[in-house]
A and B are shown apart, each in its own frame.
Chain A
Amino acid sequence: MKHEVKKITKIVDEIMTYFLYNHEVQMTDVHVEHINKAFEITFIFHDLQLDELEIRDLKKNLGRKRNPELEDYYWQLTGEAEESNELSLVAMMTDAVEFLNEDNKVRVMLLRKLD
């Protein structure tokens, strides 16, 4: 798969844009790790509590399965818009997502396997 590094940076861009744009986030940790033919990306947004509706929407949008039929064509749009978030693009580029909102922190973990 080509443009792997760029795709990872665009995924980070999209998630960061969503949380920074929609919430008053003061501090964020981003951890990107390349292990076992996969990229693991972890975000921790501190001092943030989401309501049930937003959590449901986030899980719905990020929980879609990876879609290589669309990824190769549309990946360049990821992270490009400021207002209309495109979390579905992140979902079509990732194999697994974990989402936690506890202790006043939001933790998003994404896994992208390499071919």
Chain B
Amino acid sequence: MKRIHQVYILGLLPTLLVLAGLAVEGPVQAVMGLGPIATSPSILLHDYLYVGGLGATLLNAGLVGLICCALIVLLDIDINGPFIAAVYTVIGFCFFGKNLVNIWPIFVGVKFFANTQKAPFKNYALVAFFGTTLAPLGSAIAFNGNFNGVWSIPLAVLFGIAAGFVLPPLASHMLRFHDGYNIYNIGFTGGIIGSFFTALLRSFDFAVTPASILSSEYHLEIFVSLMLFFTMLLFIGLLLSRTAEQGIIEATKQIYKSSGRLVSDFTIIGDYPSTFCNMAVMGYLSCLFVLLLGGTFNGPVVGGVLTVVGFAAFGKHPRNTIPVLAGVVIASLFKVWEIGTTGVVIAGLFGTTLAPIAGQYGVVAGMAAGFFHLSIVMNVGMLHGGVNLYNNGFAGGFVASFLVPIIDAFRRDQNR
């Protein structure tokens, strides 16, 4: 597949978001709404649909997505599964935590680290994109009301840069904690870094506490838009498959055979057309999951859906995600959290970070992972106070590192 076509397809979602953002409430309203979004503390869960409105949120997500695409093009980075996942994840979290202002200190921090290693920034661009999980660290310092006056902004930038600077070596090291069974590895890394910085801030009487500001206003509009976009992706995939080297069925079989453990790049394991089809199917599946649970399409839920779709190019397919989703649903029936609440819905969607456990060890192991994940994710957020947006990646790291050695020990006799 030609690079130019890859660029067009990757840029399709952010371009549509920008156009929709400008059209839905008018350009003036959309641009005006970017202000409250940029000055929001942005820690979990600040729904930008509530903070800035629909037009501004779509515009914010689209523009940040285009910035990522522009960096990929300018740095001449291969558009493969990991980078598709990164761009969709960044766009998804632009509905609740990442914005045009707070992503930059992280990028600058990663760039500084690359300079110290005498390596080009492109070698760490993936970490920089995913590393914007810690974008709210700066926003919380600047806009949480703890600090007033001239020092809050420089301090916020300093903390953001520091977080970005330490991300690359820690992200690589943390992979060994869960052996690649937690796909959102930088979520785990971000949780460790976020907890470290939050503890530091709290020791100076700086309050960092999670929030819950959610919108329920745009449920139908968002659901219909998402379904249309996934149908578009499916159509693109099927169209491209007509000229592909291998048939769509054969390529999809290769994807479904994969455990999903890091590093499972579906653009290579299958091909680009089958990857786009898998992304569409995972989009449908995610929306169905939200509806079956009685959830509302708000900022965090859209973020969850788009992240799943992105990672359908890099580890997730129906065979390894459905058991985890089922595990979360079963857990919510027995535990104290109500099914259908945003917390449970996003725990399910993002809980598919543990899909490789189901892919490698089977349905029961995947369901157990989902079952435990709900409890862990509801308890680890307090450690970092919500400054790490990939809280489920943080929780997933603990679940995977706890479960995998145990499952492995009991399977060892059956294998070589």
Contact = CB atoms under 8 A, between A and B. Distances in A.
Q: Do A and B come from one complex?
A: yes
Interface stretch (B96-104, B121-129, B151-159, B190-198): B121-129
B74 to A, nearest CB: 14
A72 B360 contact: no
Contacts of A68: 122-123
Contact of A88 (B125, B126, B265, B408): B265
A73 B360 contact: no
A69 B259 contact: no
B168 interface: yes
Contact of A64 (B123, B171, B268): B268
Nearest to A64: B268
Contact of B180 (A2, A80, A83): A80
Contacts of A2: 117
A23 to B, nearest CB: 10
Contact of B259 (A64, A75, A80, A84): A84
B246 to A, nearest CB: 11
A114 to B, nearest CB: 14
Contacts of A1: 119
B6 to A, nearest CB: 15
A81 B263 contact: no
Interface in A46-92: 64, 67-77, 80-84, 86, 88-89, 92
A73 to B, nearest CB: 5
Interface string A80-115: 111110101100100000000000000000000000
Nearest to A71: B123
B259 A86 contact: no
A86 to B, nearest CB: 7
B77 A83 contact: no
A69 B171 contact: no
Contacts of A21: 416
10 contacts: A2-B117, A67-B80, A72-B168, A73-B124, A74-B172, A76-B176, A77-B176, A77-B262, A83-B360, A89-B263
Given A69-B77, A69-B83, A75-B172, 12 more contacts: A64-B268, A69-B125, A70-B126, A72-B124, A72-B172, A73-B127, A73-B168, A73-B172, A77-B176, A84-B259, A84-B360, A88-B265
